[in-house]
Amino acid sequence: MKIQSLKDLKKISQAYEKQIYAPEGIKVNIGMASCGIAAGAQAAMDKALETYRDNKNVEICQTGCIGFCEQEPLVEILAVNKPRVLYQNITEDKIIDAIEGYMAGEFNKNKKSILGQLRDPRSLLDDDIENPLDGVEPIDDIPFMEDIPFYSAQVKVAMRNCGYIDPDCIEEYFAKKGYIAFLEALKKNKPAEVIETVKASGLRGRGGGGFPAGIKWATCAKHHGDRYIICNADEGDPGAYMDRSILEGDPHSVLEGMLIAALGIGSSQGYLYVRNEYPLAVKRLVTAIKQAEAYGLLGKNIAGTDFSFKINISTGAGAFVCGESTALMASLEGKVGRPRAKYVHTVEKGFRESPTNLNNVETYANVPAILLKGADWYTGMGTEHSKGTKVFSLVGKINNTGLVEVPMGISLRDIIYDIGGGIPKKKNFKAVQTGGPSGGCIPEQFLDLSVDFDELAKVGSIMGSGGMIVMDQDTCMVDVARYFVDFLRDESCGQCNPCREGLKQMLDILTDICDGNGKKGDIEFLEEIGAMMQKFSLCGLGTSAPNPVLTSILFFRDEYEAHIRDKKCSAGVCKPLFHYEIDPDACNGCTLCAKKCPQNAVAGKKKEPHVIDQENCIKCGICYEKCKFDAIKIC
Amino acid sequence: MSEAAMMEKVDAVDIDYMELDDIIEKDFGQDKENLIMILQAIQRRYNYLPPPALNYLSTKIGIPMSQIYGVATFYSTFSLEPRGRNIISICLGTACHVRGGARVNDKLEELLNISDGQTTDDKRFTLESVRCIGCCSLGPVVKINEDMHGRIGSDEIEKVLDQYE
Ligand SMILES: Cc1cc2nc3c(=O)[nH]c(=O)nc-3n(C[C@H](O)[C@H](O)[C@H](O)COP(=O)(O)O)c2cc1C
Ligand code: SF4
Ligand code: FES
């Protein structure tokens, strides 16, 4: 059926509202994004499907990821007039217990597996319907999801549907008010108004640069030619995976965002450039595009109007630099992905030398919500110059790893300690790295910084795509700087000198320092090279590449100096600069380390302090990680 | 390998040119812009990019061999040499790095006696490093073929390898 009007859309969505909120029997939603599958969700799903094959009362469904990746596989179980319960760590051996327990109304037995119950399953877009949990007796002694620290500060706009609907089912997206914003705008047929709303919302690009989306759209619309709409789903920053999660959990939100951009700007062709490492995202997008085409929401004469828009998918081939807009466009043309100087902007001459609007996945996913709820609503969240919410991926040395969407302006401390639950194993916080390989390392003294585009820039870092890698006392900042420089040297396209040679020189110096061959003057030389690269590199990769080095020198200079002068790596990372010793007072002779040491380098009798044979020790760190009594010391 | 050496290398693999035609024409409309995706399709089919197939592609879509070679070497997913039966992708992304990914990598290199991008002599494994597979919450992560192994320690990796023939 081709959708011709809002009425058509509403008819379908009402039927599916029932499916997502008031199923016939028991509905089991299994979080099946890549992260969930990797944690064992597929096996759990297979097990459930097998067990309830002949039971019509139990419906096993897939959803995307609701963000709490630490506790995956996550499974939500619901039934009409019953509480909705979210279970955690539900691997194949636990899923039947969870389902049976739910059916029997027995929650005490597997309380450990329960993350919480929902107070309200509606998204911020479909809160005009009645809360399906109104009047439902909650379960005693089980916290509400909305109250647990990981979720309580979150506001889901871009990720509004992730984990709540089946990404392979466009009708469920309809039921969550999907495509209404687009259809309304289409029927109104006032493209300029669309752009005005996006402008007024203050939405800034979520891919890294933070350029105001509305201004980009307006400039692109002014230039003549076959305009193109591109979605940047190259997500190259290691440690950031919100775009993957949105594409896998709610692909239609991105397609709808692109449709709205196309309508506003006046374009009939779009491209999604997806990273090669994300096969599941591609699969879900292909399905989503086909479904949208079948309903006549993509393709020729959409909803009976003369507006036509087609979206093609192109996959990257493993080049970080192709996330840069001009390199991405070259790659889309089948060429080597080298950036070009932007004397002429891509909104004027981009893909195929035509006016091109390129935005990030998360940017597009925000757009339908902004159109439906209005620019004023959006500007009500965030800070003066950074409006709305931002998704961060909280990873590294943190208790609650996952994706969190919070209003801009929240402090780093709130994100790391309240939402993230702090650092595991009672270790000390050392730094948080934001903004990907070209971001900066922010130390403890700035933890109260409120997170937005401008504040992060003030301490030498960037928002980037929203990766937040938390580092503890076991992270060596010189090693981290070396790591990023190594990454970027690998990924530099090599066409301009400052970046190609600068990175190589920096890497040589940093490697020397980590190997114990650092010399006086190295730090100053690194600063000099960094400043030169920032000034003279051709593209954003080169100009921002020195950031991790410069910020780590700025905030952790003593660590650099200890490496160079004292030949010491106190974090125990740079192998030539430390050794392990066993503290005889702390060691109680449990023998665990001796058993685990691959070199048999630990000797000692049971219940007596052990000793490490330094000759044989390869500093693999296994004893350090395994010791339960903190007896292994870094010296 | 230099371009000339690459061309000269006699290749063991049989190329099915009819099938190649199908890939180039039917799937990708013989369009120059689709070069990267055509190369991906060829690599999916042969597990690497066999030079004779690239030669054929070059004449077929009218892109000089030098340019195809440029693209094939610029993008890290392409391999101009046959790869192993099992592809190990070890994540060296930041989140995995701070959680000890490098140690797992060291152990893999030691066990297999190969380094990044290389294939074991028995063609059982190819080791490839990647920077983030988007499963950072499970770091350190190793992907073998399509299977993801998360929260893996350097002392556990050997057992995992045993599962692959
Ligand atoms: C080296 C480099 C890599 C980049 N990688 C990405 C990326 O993976 N994803 C992304 O959305 N933007 C990336 N960007 C930013 C893009 O160039 C561009 O600014 C952005 O996609 C525009 O969309 P937005 O305004 O919606 O953020 C990268 C930039 C540079 C310089
Ligand atoms: S700055 Fe680096 S990545 Fe950018 S164009 Fe120059 S060499 Fe290429
Ligand atoms: S850094 Fe390894 S999966 Fe993201």
Tens digits of residue pLDDT in A176-199: 999 999 999 999 989 999 999 999
Type and span of the H or E element at A229: strand A228-233
In sequence order, the β-bridge partners of residue B143 are B89, B148
**How far does residue B101's CA lie from ligand 3's centre (Å)?**
9
CB spacing of A240 vs B71 below 8 angstroms = no
In sequence order, the β-bridge partners of residue A403 are A393
Looking at residue A204, the DSSP 8-state letter turns out to be: B
pLDDT at B56: 95
Tens digits of residue pLDDT in B84-127: 999 999 999 988 988 889 889 999 999 999 999 999 999 999 99
pTM for the model: 0.94
B95 → closest Cβ in A37, A337, A396 = A396
Tens digits of residue pLDDT in A382-417: 999 999 999 999 999 999 999 999 999 999 999 999
Please identify which residue in the block is written with the tokens 């940017």: A363
Nearest ligand 3 atom, CA B135: 3
pLDDT at B10: 46
Is residue A568 within 8 Å of A604, Cβ to Cβ?
no
Nearest ligand 1 atom, CA A236: 8
CA dihedral A333, A336, A342, A345 (to 10 degrees): 10
Is residue A390 within 8 Å of A206, Cβ to Cβ?
yes
Mean of the per-residue pLDDT values for chain A? 95
CB spacing of B98 vs A621 below 8 angstroms = no
* Nearest residue of chain B to residue A240 (CA atoms): B134
A401 → closest Cβ in B97, B137, B153 = B137
Nearest Cα of chain A lies from the Cα of B31 at a distance, in angstroms, of 9
* Residues with Cβ within 8 Å of residue A194, at least 6 apart in sequence: A185, A260, A263, A264, A371
Nearest ligand 2 atom, CA A492: 3
The domain B86-161: what is its CATH number?
3.40.30.10
Domain ranges for chain B, please list them: 3-74, 86-161
A238 → closest Cβ in B34, B103, B132 = B132
CB spacing of B103 vs A620 below 8 angstroms = yes
Tens digits of residue pLDDT in A602-620: 999 999 999 999 999 999 8
Tens digits of residue pLDDT in A476-533: 999 999 999 999 999 999 999 999 999 999 999 999 999 999 999 999 999 999 999 9
A480 CB within 8 Å of a chain B CB: yes
Question: d(Cα A209, Cα A466) in Å, to the nearest integer?
Answer: 11
CB spacing of A336 vs B70 below 8 angstroms = yes
pLDDT-derived band of residue B4, with 50, 70 and 90 as boundaries? low
> Is residue A628 scored above 70 in pLDDT?
yes
pLDDT at A209: 86
Ligand 1 site, residue A325, Cβ cutoff 6 A: yes
User: For chain A, which domains are there?
Assistant: 17-152 (3.40.30.10), 178-377 (3.40.50.11540), 389-472 (3.10.20.600), 477-566 (1.20.1440.230), 579-634 (3.30.70.20)
Let me know the angle formed at the C-alpha of A281 by A322 and A72, rounded to the nearest 5 degrees: 120
pLDDT at A1: 87
CB spacing of A334 vs B100 below 8 angstroms = no
Looking at residue A334, the DSSP 8-state letter turns out to be: T
CA dihedral A553, A559, A563, A567 (to 10 degrees): 160
